[in-house]
Amino acid sequence: GTRIKTRKRNIAAPLDPSAFADAVVQIYLDNAGDLELVARSIESSDLNFSRYGDTFFEVVFAGGRTQPGTLKPDEGECHPYSIIECEATRDAILLSVIYIQKILRRRPFLIKNLENVMRRLLQSLELFEENERKKLAIFTALAFSQKLSGLPPETVFQPLLKDNLVAKGLVLSFMTDFFKDYLVDNSLDDLISLLKRGKIEDDLLQFFPSTKRSAECFSEHFSKAGLVPLVEYNEKKIFEVKLKEMKSALTTQIVEESDMSEVIETVKQRVKDAKLPDIEVIRILWDVIMDAVQWSGKNQQQNANSALRQVLQFLSRHLFLF
């Protein structure tokens, strides 16, 4: 009559994403795609979102569960109210963004699943039609405009840098649509801040095919797209980089007391390559000269005398620079 005590174990139910997808699709169909009603039905359901988060967003974006590595629907039910199937307009897609925001507020853990699915979709741009890629670009722009529950920019932008997508021009087209739609509701400063957080602000040329990675192609493309402020920003940034490079080169030469001809050649070459205006060249030269002054910090008169000596010394050696 000895009783043997057995330890209870948690027995995990087998994964069944197909049944989950069919259940979500049925909610869409039962509510005729009314996303507000769909959201309410999902809230009151007992579906296991913690296990099938990726599957849920496949249904949201594609209308049903997709086959691994493709956008083709897997076996099972589908609905016609997905983001890919809706109109390619901001108003239509905004409804889906607001709907997802509601879901994420109640289930914030799903943000990781949204990241996963968006990453897969963006890495598969070549599988979409042009109109479908535009819808994804609009969705992405609106998601960031609406600050969709902390969606990380890096997660969205980095997957786009696949060589084959860039080479085909798909990434440039996507980003152009994204820029245009994002700037409808946001300033250029907002866009630059977003790109910085996405770690792509320093080199927007990486979205261009390798044969078109030049400042000229950048300006031409985005000017035609009506994104002149972005062109002006990029030109200003390039200009500032060239100024910084020139200052660094001259500082090194002056500190090392390089031969006069080398200094002259550096200035002339930099001015020619960067098309720098005279006033900027003079400002850089002044900064370089002042940086070479040994500031004592004891009193203003001594500092002024030191600065004057440095200027006179420079002029005596470089008077014929221009």
> How far, CA to CA in Å, does 303 sit from each of 200, 287, 307?
43, 15, 6
- pLDDT at site 312: 52
Query: What does the block give as tokens for 76?
Result: 């099972």
The percent of residues in the chain predicted with pLDDT above 70, rounded, is 80
What's the rounded mean pLDDT across residues 113-124?
93
Q: What average pLDDT does the segment 220-237 reach?
A: 94
CA distance 305 to 26: 84
DSSP 211: G
Q: At residue 8, does pLDDT exceed 50?
A: no
What's the pLDDT tens digit per position in 235-253? 888 888 888 887 787 778 7
**Which tokens go with 229?**
């402020």
- 3-state secondary structure (DSSP) of residue 73: strand
What is the residue whose two structure tokens read 């320093």? Answer: 202
Q: d(Cα 106, Cα 61) in Å, to the nearest integer?
A: 19
Cα–Cα distance, 70 to 309 (Å, whole number): 72
- Residue 281's pLDDT band (boundaries 50, 70, 90)? confident
pLDDT of residue 196: 93
Per residue in 51-105, pLDDT (tens digit) is: 999 999 999 999 998 876 666 566 677 899 999 999 999 999 999 999 999 999 9
Q: What is the pLDDT of residue 11?
A: 43
Q: For residue 66, list its beta bridge partners.
A: 73
For residue 67, what pLDDT is reported?
73
- pTM for this prediction: 0.79
